[in-house]
Amino acid sequence: MNRHVTVGLDDSTESHAAAAWAAREAASRGVALRVVHVEEWPIAPEIPLTLSEALVERYETLLREAAERARRDHPGLDVTTEMVHGRAGAELTRAADEAEVTALGSRGLGGFVGFLVGSVSLAVVAASSRPVVLVRAERPGAEAGATESGAAAGGAGAAGTAERASAGAEDAAAVSARPDVVLGLDIAHPSDPLLDFAFGTAARRDLPLRVVHSWSPPASYGYAAILDPEIGTGLGRRAAEGLTELLRPWRSRFPEVRVVEKVVVGPAARELVHASRGAELLMVGRRGRRPALPHLGHVTHAVIHHSAAPVAVVPLV
């Protein structure tokens, strides 16, 4: 099958936002766009045939209009549409496994509550072997709401950050003044697919990449800190050095990408939700594949529900 980006389409505003995101992504990658709608309408004797036919016609129109819009916005983009029948979660997961990346719409409930992620989206995110991006429609005041959601998602809060800019203070100031893409990275469990996705996205979009790593002190830290107040500084420095060393080969591979490294003490969720404000994309990893029982780690779950930016969930291998 040809290389492509997939979007799962229905008639929601969020789905149209996902289609626009997917079209842009396909154009930036130089691949085709595949627009898929899953028809789950029950086939039963009591359902009037005319109603069933009307629904099919409605979604055929939806697919056609989405394809026309993508071609208009991205001249030369190869767009195909497909209507499939079956269970939405299973069919979209199958489609996602064949794509370079898949976009799905997720309904927002305001900044504090965050995303309303349905069972279908969660099933696809948890089961797909390829990256899945959740997109919601823009809402007025979304950035202000994201501030509240950061407080809700973070728990204990983040104390003592160490930030390292890739090209000095002037570069860091320039980076902070423009949109970027954000990567949440656990240096204890690095993943080439996640790093490749993050650096590739930043390179294609010509955007800075902000890499956020969160670490927690050992259980004995509280007592040790009383005896040696400098121990926290040393642990933070080692975490920052570890992040720099991990990113070194990726900086060499993508020299055009401007990278900002940020190391923070405490739960990662709050820092990532905060970092999502003004970002074009927030990227996190997911360990394991559980098609029978969708399950996401607490950090991934938090950013999916509270991020102000689209969230890309990349399986770690």
pLDDT given for residue 45 in this prediction: 55
Tell me 71's DSSP state.
H
pLDDT above 60: residue 111: no
**Rounded CA gap, 288 and 133, in Å?**
17
pLDDT: is 151 or 80 the higher one? 80
Residue that is written with structure tokens 């948890």 in the block: 126
Per-residue confidence band for 299, with pLDDT thresholds at 50, 70 and 90: confident
DSSP-derived pairing of the beta strands 32-39 and 79-85 = parallel
> What pTM was computed for the model?
0.80
What's the mean pLDDT in 273-301? 78
pLDDT digits (tens, 9 = 90+) for 182-227: 999 998 888 899 999 999 999 999 999 999 998 766 555 554 444 4
The answer to whether the beta carbons of residues 132 and 312 sit under 8 Å apart is: yes
Mean predicted lDDT score pLDDT of the chain? 79
**Rounded CA gap, 285 and 294, in Å?**
15
Per-residue confidence band for 177, with pLDDT thresholds at 50, 70 and 90: low
| 3-state helix/strand/coil string of 80-101 | EEEEEECCHHHHHHHHHHCCCE
**Which of 29-43, 52-66, 229-243, 260-274 is predicted least confidently?**
229-243
pLDDT above 80: residue 43: no
pLDDT given for residue 214 in this prediction: 86
pLDDT given for residue 248 in this prediction: 97
> Packing angle between helix 142-154 and helix 268-275, nearest 10 degrees?
170
What value, to the nearest 5°, has the Cα angle with vertex 237 and ends 232 and 239? 95
pLDDT above 90: residue 37: yes
pLDDT: is 270 or 107 the higher one? 270
pLDDT digits (tens, 9 = 90+) for 231-266: 445 666 888 899 999 999 999 999 999 999 999 887
Residue 181 is which amino acid? V
**Rounded CA gap, 61 and 67, in Å?**
10
